[in-house]
């Protein structure tokens, strides 16, 4: 493992995908370029390619998921991998088996890739470190969302979506709106937007949900949503992460919606051709009005579809193809 960038192996190749932070711009662009032909497979009768034939991909989701788990499974199957979805609730984790013991046992079943979601920030990195320390460098780890830390494939599919609709990044103003404090998605999005050269990244939200020192990530902070949305090209909404909040950070969901919910009236302050994104799951009537979520500027469902191709590109790259 390369300690300067633990995702890159000694041959300079991407071995794991743990975080967007520190990834070279060329690697991100290569993944976006590689995903493009995979999007075309969706229209084909035969959707399978033999690129991961003989490989075993283990989905280890210690936290709930609809989009990420399912699209990783579809992506791996389209690449002809064998996919094993470990049901955490019925696994021996429920009997007290440690994360690393679980990993060791699955590695003994000839795993080639672990796709890991965990409530603890750093869990995928811990697994990657453990695999390196025990001489199993051939197994790759993909972070499918860890605590508040990172959700790199979500950010990559978001970048793919922006590039699809806006063609390039160099003249965009992009707003990330809502609960940035608890959001692994926001952290990964901001790193990706910054690496890809977006000149203006805005962070919009209440002071209580803004991480301390977020300006150091190169964003302009707005506590007034109406001010922050003026003239933006892309609005990236975030879910209010009630499950990660300790204590009352907000007066009420109604109050939050009034100030930070994306309504048609607030969206009208952005550019007329602005796109609206949301990683899901959405809280309608809390961070987004249904009229916007289901409206003509929303690209929320295309994000999900692009996620399959982007995850195919990531897994294919990690497999060394
Ligand atoms: N965007 C996202 O991570 O959704 P899921 O929690 O459904 O995977």
- The dihedral over CA atoms of 108, 111, 114, 118, expressed in degrees to the nearest 10, equals -30
Q: Does 85 map to a domain?
A: yes
Stretch 201-220: mean pLDDT, rounded?
96
Predicted TM-score of the model (pTM): 0.96
Q: Give the three-class secondary structure for 175.
A: strand
pLDDT of the residue at 12: 83
Write the pLDDT tens digit of every residue in 127-149. Answer: 999 999 999 999 999 999 999 99
- What is the reported pLDDT for 42? 81
Domain-embedded: residue 10: no
136 with 226, same domain?
no
Whether residues 101 and 156 share a domain: the answer is no
Do 199 and 66 fall within a single domain?
no
Ligand 1 binding pocket includes 154 (Cβ within 6 Å) = yes
Determine if ligand 1 sits within 6 Å of the CB of residue 65.
yes
| Secondary structure (DSSP) of 136-185 | -TT-EEEEEEETTTB-HHHHHHHHHHHHHHHS-STT-EEEEES--TT-HH
Could you say which DSSP state residue 43 is in?
T
Probe residue for ligand 1, chosen from 62, 65, 158, 236 as the CB with the greatest number of ligand atoms within 8 Å: 65
71 Cβ below 6 A of ligand 1 = no
Mean of the per-residue pLDDT values of the chain: 95
Q: Is the dihedral of CA 14, 19, 25, 31 positive or negative?
A: positive
Q: Would you place residue 37 in the very low, low, confident or very high pLDDT band (cuts 50, 70, 90)?
A: very high
174, 130: one domain: no
DSSP state, residue 162: H
Task: Tell me, yes or no, whether 20 lies in a domain.
Answer: no
Are residue 188 and residue 300 in the same domain, yes or no? yes
- pLDDT band of residue 161 (cuts 50, 70, 90) is very high
Query: What pLDDT is attached to residue 106?
Result: 97
The pair of structure tokens assigned to 271 is 């550019």
Are 202 and 266 in the same domain? yes
Alpha carbon distance 78, 317 (integer Å): 15
Q: What is the pLDDT of residue 248?
A: 62
79 secondary structure, DSSP code:
T
230 and 134 in a common domain: no
| Assigned domain for 114 exists | yes
Residue 12 forms part of a structural domain: no
Would you say residue 6 lies in a domain? no
**pLDDT exceeds 80 at position 81:** yes
Peptide bond into 263 cis (omega under 30): no
User: CA-to-CA distance for 40 and 164, rounded, in angstroms?
Assistant: 13
The pLDDT of residue 173 is 98
Number of structural domains the chain divides into: 2
Q: Do 141 and 161 share a domain, yes or no?
A: no
Mutation probe of ligand 1 site: the residue of 61, 68, 287 with most atoms within 8 A of C-beta: 68
Is residue 71 a part of any domain in this protein? yes
CATH for 263 = 3.40.50.1370
Q: Which atom of ligand 1 is nearest to the CA of 68?
A: 8
Q: Do residues 75 and 57 touch, judged by C-beta distance below 8 A?
A: no
Residue 18 included in any domain: no
Does residue 152 line the site of ligand 1, with CB under 6 A? no
Q: Are residues 250 and 295 in the same domain?
A: yes
48: Cβ–Cβ under 8 A, 6 or more apart, which residues? 77, 78, 79, 80
Say if residue 303's pLDDT is above 90: yes
Q: Are residues 177 and 263 in the same domain?
A: yes
Please state, in angstroms and rounded to a whole number, the distance separating the CA atoms of residues 229 and 177: 9
Tokens 């309504």 label which residue? 263
Statement to judge: residues 164 and 74 lie in one domain: no
3-state SS, residue 117: strand
Give the pLDDT of residue 252.
85
pLDDT tens digits for range 43-79: 888 889 999 999 999 999 999 999 999 999 999 999 9
Instruction: Let me know: does 142 contact 17? Beta carbons within 8 Å.
Output: yes
Q: Are residues 268 and 136 in the same domain?
A: no
Q: Quick: pLDDT tens for 237-254.
A: 999 987 666 666 777 889
Give me the domain span that covers residue 160.
152-304
Residue owning the nearest CA to atom 3 of ligand 1 = 68
């Amino acid at each position: 493992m390369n300690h300067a960038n633990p995702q890159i192996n000694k041959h300079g190749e991407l071995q794991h995908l743990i975080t967007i932070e520190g990834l070279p711009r060329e690697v991100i662009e290569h993944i976006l370029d590689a995903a493009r032909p995979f999007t075309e497979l969706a229209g084909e009768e035969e959707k399978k390619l033999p690129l991961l034939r003989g490989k075993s991909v283990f989905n280890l989701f210690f936290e709930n998921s609809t989009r990420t788990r399912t699209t990783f499974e579809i992506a791996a199957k389209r690449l002809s991998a064998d996919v094993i979805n470990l049901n955490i609730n019925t696994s021996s984790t429920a009997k007290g088996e440690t994360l690393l013991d679980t990993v060791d046992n699955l590695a003994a079943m000839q795993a080639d890739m672990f796709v890991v979601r965990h409530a603890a920030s750093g869990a995928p990195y811990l697994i990657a470190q453990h695999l390196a320390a025990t001489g199993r460098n051939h197994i790759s780890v993909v972070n499918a969302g860890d605590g508040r830390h990172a959700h790199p494939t979500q950010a990559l599919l978001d970048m793919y979506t922006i590039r699809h609709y806006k063609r390039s990044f160099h003249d965009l103003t992009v707003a990330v709106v809502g609960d940035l404090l608890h959001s692994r998605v926001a952290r990964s999005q901001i790193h990706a937007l910054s690496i890809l050269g977006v000149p203006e990244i805005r962070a919009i939200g209440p002071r209580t949900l803004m991480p301390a020192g977020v300006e150091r990530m190169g964003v302009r902070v707005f506590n007034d949503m109406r001010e922050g949305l003026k003239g933006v090209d892309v609005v990236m909404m975030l879910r209010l992460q009630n499950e990660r909040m300790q204590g009352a950070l907000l007066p009420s969901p109604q109050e939050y919606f009034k100030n930070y919910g994306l309504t048609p009236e607030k969206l009208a302050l952005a550019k007329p051709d602005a796109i609206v994104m949301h990683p899901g799951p959405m809280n309608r009537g809390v961070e987004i009005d249904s009229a916007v979520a289901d409206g003509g500027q929303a690209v929320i469902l295309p994000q999900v579809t692009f996620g399959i191709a982007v995850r195919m590109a990531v897994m294919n790259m990690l497999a060394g193809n």
